[in-house]
Amino acid sequence: MGVWFGGLVGAIIGVVLAAIGIAVAIILSEHKKQQAGRDKILNRLDTADMLLQENMTADALAIYTSLLKEVSKEKDSETYALIKNSEGKCYYNLSFRAKRAENLIKAIAAFEDSAKFSNPQKSPDSYALTCYNLGSAYMNLSEFHEEEKSLKKAAEAFRKTLSVYTLSANPSGYALVNHNLCSAYNVLAGFSDIENNLLKAAKYCEETLNVYTPEGYPLNYASAQMKLGSIFNALSSFRNEEEYLSRAVNSYKATLNIYIPEKYPAEFAAAHKVIGDCYKSFAENSESESDITNAVTAYEEALKVYSADNDPIIYTGIKKNLGDLYSSSAAAGEKPDNLLKAIRFYEEALAIYNAVDQPIEFSGIQQKLGDVQLMLFTAGGKEKNLLNGITAYLEALKVMTILEHPLDYASIHHKLGDAYTDLAKLADEASNLKKAQSTYIEALKVYTFEDTPLDHKVVFLKLEKIRRIVS
């Protein structure tokens, strides 16, 4: 009995062990098959990645599309996320060749799917790269499709990237993402919440300067300082004008250690031009002689590069600004020499601008030229200054018609009336008073008692005075 029972137990144990052996063999076999299948998928994925690197995007995309039919996002989410990210890169690249909007939208869908199945704790770098790619795709889409919405989505994706790309762990990635965030919020400021978005843009731009030092990344540093200066300049319209203009000037000046005229003439000139603009803004508020001098100095540096041939619009704008500065200086300090300089700069600007191609700018400078000529006459000038001023005002009226620009039309006629009145004291009294009378009447067609009572009263009294003289 004992022997028989022992034999039976042994037999059972043998069967169990055999069964376990078979099960283990099956499991190992299945594992080997799965591993072989996974290895095959990874090999094909490597092949597709190499094709993508070689710019063979369509071929790479075909492999990624095929792999997505074989990989389960539930069972192998990590591989699935990698393939979706690569698929997104394919569509992103294709968007620069054809069907831009369609391919970008496909890229965004792939990147979003990849981010959904990525594990930021297990594979932080892959997750960050996907979020960065998603932000880049939205940034590109914003150029022509739902700009504000796309920019907000881009900013959201870039902020997620910063959870991995920290200053200490990945300084270059940190700087690049902050640069993109700065660009996104800078553009978003043009849609809504202007001040707050500009402040965000400034914050992210300043973060890039923790990486972009003048020693390590001189050109990136200078570019960031230029952008930061433009943001501070824009912020000066909303808060602490003097403070933000000063910060803008400091940022612009910081670039001049990099942008030397021998190597970077265009950037050198651009920096001096915006420095001049800031000091001009200072001068308009303070009428300080030092602000005027600083603005003039900066503009003159810019004009060492800008010319009527290589950049006529900026060149002319600087000439006009120089005319404004010297005109302001003369008005504040009664300096006839500065009036002559203002006239020279306005005339140089008018050598470029004309009534057909730049009508508003042309008319504006003609009005300023007329004003300065009359100021010069008042300061002890000659009859020719009055005549030149009248000519300038008449040129301005070629653009400023009563239908399209009624207030400018009235203002110019008012000044013309004053000029003809002064001219009547020097020559041909009757004729010039008659001209003054007719121009005042034209001004009153706009300056009505109901709409502009003060201007109406001033011009009306001048008109009545002439009527008493000629009657």
**pLDDT value at position 462?**
94
- The domain over range 42-151 is classified in CATH as 3.30.70: no
C-alpha span between 400 and 76 (Å, rounded): 71
**pLDDT value at position 42?**
79
**pLDDT value at position 308?**
94
Determine the 3-state secondary structure of 189 from DSSP: coil
C-alpha span between 257 and 277 (Å, rounded): 20
pLDDT less than 50: residues of the chain: 23-25, 27-33
Maximal C-alpha separation, the chain:
155
Alpha helices in 54-143 (DSSP H): 57-68, 77-94, 100-117, 124-141
pTM above 0.85, yes or no: no
C-alpha span between 175 and 211 (Å, rounded): 6
- Amino acid in the structure at residue 409: Y
**pLDDT value at position 35?**
52
Domain ranges of the chain: 42-151, 400-471
Contact 364, 349 (CB under 8 A): no
State both tokens at 182. Answer: 């700065």
**Sign of the four-CA dihedral 338, 330, 273, 291:** positive
pLDDT tens, residue by residue, 386-416: 999 999 999 999 999 999 999 999 999 999 9
